[in-house]
């Protein structure tokens, strides 16, 4: 195996340390953007199109749990595992509708159409977490709390709620905020993940490879640079990405990246499985151990 890895990532503000790792530390790996998010990266991992993914905790765990249920390719291997923790803080999902739509509160969303990027993506999974929090999930009843409408991209989600293809959608707060400010969409609520928000996964054959360990250390360097050079981060986010300078500065006050990205806390995965099972995204009998490729401990344990 060569030292070259293909790294899937979402080209948003959270990717800034990856950009710095590539720019300032000559990260040799290829960064492959996935604007439609974690669900698309799951497909790419399974197709062998990327080797590593940096995405949302709930998207990875939902995909791993569903693979276990289908026993494909095997009960204990979905083709990839969680190997790292990228962001320690939870994610704020803004809940949006069309700017001229009459919807004005979360309580009006029951039975409506939710726009999602893909089935199994974070925007899909968090819809069911919202439904659980609102008491809309009835295990004894078959109807779903809303109709799911896959629309692939953030742009199409915004279009969808304005042309009534969907009634609402959920996306990260600061990525959505520019479109509230220019009155393209309307905010009607928010929900926070009950877990740390971003994890790193890798294809199973790479788990013990030096290439993966080198990549994780490069991310650590990128994070350290990010923390020491906040003004450069603000300039990059506000000129190269779709954010205002004020929103970039506000976001910096809310986010905390991992000091060492290698490994994942088993308790975080257990909590995620617990909430997703309660929300009806996952069934019973999910094996947390088989989802983890590298577990955090006093000395990192490579499984």
Per-residue pLDDT of the chain (303 residues; tens, 9 = 90+): 446 899 999 999 999 999 999 999 878 789 999 998 898 999 999 999 999 999 999 999 999 999 988 755 554 467 999 999 999 999 999 999 999 999 999 999 999 999 999 888 889 989 989 998 999 987 666 668 999 999 999 999 999 999 999 999 999 999 999 999 999 999 999 999 999 999 999 999 999 999 999 999 999 999 999 999 999 999 999 999 989 999 999 999 999 999 999 999 999 999 999 988 888 888 888 999 999 999 987 445 444
Distance of CA 48 to the CA centre of its chain: 20
Question: Which pLDDT tens digit goes with each residue over 96-116?
Answer: 999 999 999 999 999 999 999
Fold equal for 6-90+195-302 and 92-192: yes
Domain ranges of the chain: 6-90+195-302, 92-192
What pLDDT does 302 receive? 44
What pLDDT does 226 receive? 97
Could you tell me which residues are beta bridge partners of residue 257?
87
What pLDDT does 77 receive? 62
Closest to 273 in 3D by CA, of 54, 58, 40: 58
User: CA distances (Å), 161 to each of 108, 149, 173, in order?
Assistant: 15, 11, 17
CATH of segment(s) 92-192: 3.40.190.10
Can you point out the beta strands (E) in 162-223? 168-172, 185-192, 198-203
One of 3.40.190.10, 1.10.10.10, 3.90.950.20, 3.40.190.100 is the CATH number of 6-90+195-302, namely 3.40.190.10
Q: In whole angstroms, what is the distance from residue 268 CA to residue 266 CA? A: 5
All residues at 6 or more sequence positions from 123 whose CB lies less than 8 Å from its CB, including other chains: 37, 39, 93, 115, 116, 117, 157, 169, 170, 171
What pLDDT does 28 receive? 75
What pLDDT does 141 receive? 62
List the structure tokens of 198: 């971003």
Sign of CA dihedral 53, 59, 64, 70: negative
């Amino acid at each position: 195996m060569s030292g070259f890895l293909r790294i899937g990532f979402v080209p948003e503000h959270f990717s800034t340390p990856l950009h710095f790792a590539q720019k300032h530390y000559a990260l040799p790996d290829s960064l492959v953007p996935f604007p439609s998010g974690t669900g698309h990266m799951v497909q790419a991992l399974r197709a062998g199109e990327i080797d590593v993914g940096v995405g949302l905790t709930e998207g990875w765990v939902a995909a791993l749990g569903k693979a276990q249920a289908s026993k494909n390719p095997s009960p204990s291997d979905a083709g990839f595992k969680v190997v790292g923790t990228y962001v320690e803080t939870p994610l704020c999902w803004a809940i949006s509708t069309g700017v001229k739509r009459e919807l004005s509160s979360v309580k009006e969303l029951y039975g409506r159409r939710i726009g999602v990027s893909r089935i199994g993506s974070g925007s899909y999974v968090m819809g069911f977490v919202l439904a659980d929090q609102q008491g809309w999930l009835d295990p004894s009843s078959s109807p779903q709390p809303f109709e799911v409408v896959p629309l692939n991209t953030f742009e199409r989600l915004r279009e969808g709620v304005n042309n009534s293809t969907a009634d609402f959608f959920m996306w990260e707060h600061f990525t959505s905020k520019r479109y509230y400010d220019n009155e393209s969409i309307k905010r009607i609520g928010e929900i926070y993940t009950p877990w740390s928000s971003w994890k790193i996964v890798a294809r199973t054959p790479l788990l013990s490879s030096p290439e993966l360990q080198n990549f994780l250390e490069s991310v650590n360097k990128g994070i350290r640079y990010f923390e020491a050079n906040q003004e450069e981060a603000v300039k990059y986010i506000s000129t190269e990405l779709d954010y205002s300078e004020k929103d970039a500065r506000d976001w910096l006050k809310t986010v905390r990246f991992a000091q060492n990205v290698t490994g994942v806390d088993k308790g975080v995965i257990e909590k995620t499985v617990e909430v997703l099972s309660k929300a009806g995204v996952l069934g019973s009998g999910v094996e947390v151990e088989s989802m983890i490729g590298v577990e955090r401990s006093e000395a990192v344990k490579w499984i």
